[in-house]
Amino acid sequence: MSNKFLLSVFVLLFLISVNGNSQWVKISDDMKGGGAFRSLASIDNNILAGTFLKGVVLSKNSGDNWSNTSLNSGTIWAMAVSGSNVFAGTSSKGEFMGVFVSTNSGSNWTKTALNNHYVYALSGNGTNVYAGTPEGVFFSKDNGITWNESTLKNVCVNSIVMNGSNIYAGTNTGIYISNDNGAIWKLSGLSDQTVWAVAVNGNYIFAGTWHAGVNISTDNGQTWSPTSSGGDYIRSLIINNNVIYAGSEEKGIFSSTDNGSSWTQMSLNDQSVLSFAANGNSIYAGTSMGIYIYTIK
């Protein structure tokens, strides 16, 4: 085997490696102490990042520059866009506890009536908003003005996703499903896992678990199967253009283009990926070390 051939192979592998590792580009520092970005959201081309102890920060130019918002303290565990509103859920005590709402793309925030619970998950559609707390699910039908406790109680809710009239809640004891906008809940077939993230793509439901990687259901949660995801501990999920991105604990980002049949480890291999957001062809990842962007060519 010639030295020229070996050199060509080496160069090719090097370029593949460089390109693979450079796909995700860091666009923020640690925000001077707020570096664990537990939640992200995108609205009107603004990118919002929920920080550890520093509230919500805002970028109006795809992450080149960041500024504080009026919600400038507290740990932001969850954010959700519903219509023209953005909701933020905190795990802080006192005046920065509960759910906050912004009606101007994240610049200014107002505390809602759900102000005495830690909030780990949010999902919205129209005027309906659902909040996952350590005590179960609360819901609002008027854009967060009033809140009620649902029948899903006494369970810690880590993630919540709406898909039409179906709602999926990832908890410390599996996934609960409501088929009637949250009136009645039942435990799905995935009942023995801590679920940190849920995502839906057509008839496919994906659950990011703490010990068993990404699980999949094709029958609305009655039965579940593990996928071949490389990470056993999954923190976050997002689906964009039928590609699934899974954020793992200390193993970076995995992607799948075939609904979870196979996975590719993309980048950030030593980082915990806590959150995702999408804006057009750009995917944003919030990690324990900053925010990264991946632009789909």
Mean pLDDT of 279-292: 92
- Is there a domain that residue 161 lies in? yes
Task: Report DSSP letters for 160-180, one per residue.
Answer: EEEETTEEEEEETTEEEEESS
pLDDT given for residue 31 in this prediction = 53
The pTM score is 0.89
| φ, ψ of residue 33 in degrees (nearest 5) | 115, -10
- Provide the domain count of the chain: 1
- Is there a domain that residue 4 lies in? no
pLDDT given for residue 29 in this prediction = 58
Mean pLDDT of 68-91: 95
- Is there a domain that residue 10 lies in? no
Quote the domain boundaries for residue 170.
Answer: 27-295
Average predicted confidence (pLDDT) for the chain: 89
Residue-wise pLDDT tens digits, 105-126: 999 999 999 999 999 999 999 9
Q: Inform me whether the pLDDT recorded for 2 exceeds 80.
A: no
- Is there a domain that residue 202 lies in? yes
Q: Inform me whether the pLDDT recorded for 79 exceeds 80.
A: yes
- Is there a domain that residue 14 lies in? no
pLDDT given for residue 45 in this prediction = 86
pLDDT given for residue 13 in this prediction = 40
CATH number of residue 226's parent domain? 2.130.10.10
pLDDT band, very low/low/confident/very high, at 196 (cuts 50, 70, 90):
very high
pLDDT given for residue 5 in this prediction = 42
- Is there a domain that residue 235 lies in? yes
| Rounded percentage of the chain residues whose pLDDT exceeds 70 | 90
Mark 252-268 as b/e (b = at least 16 C-beta within 10 Å): bbbbbeebbeebebbbb
- Is there a domain that residue 12 lies in? no
- Is there a domain that residue 22 lies in? no
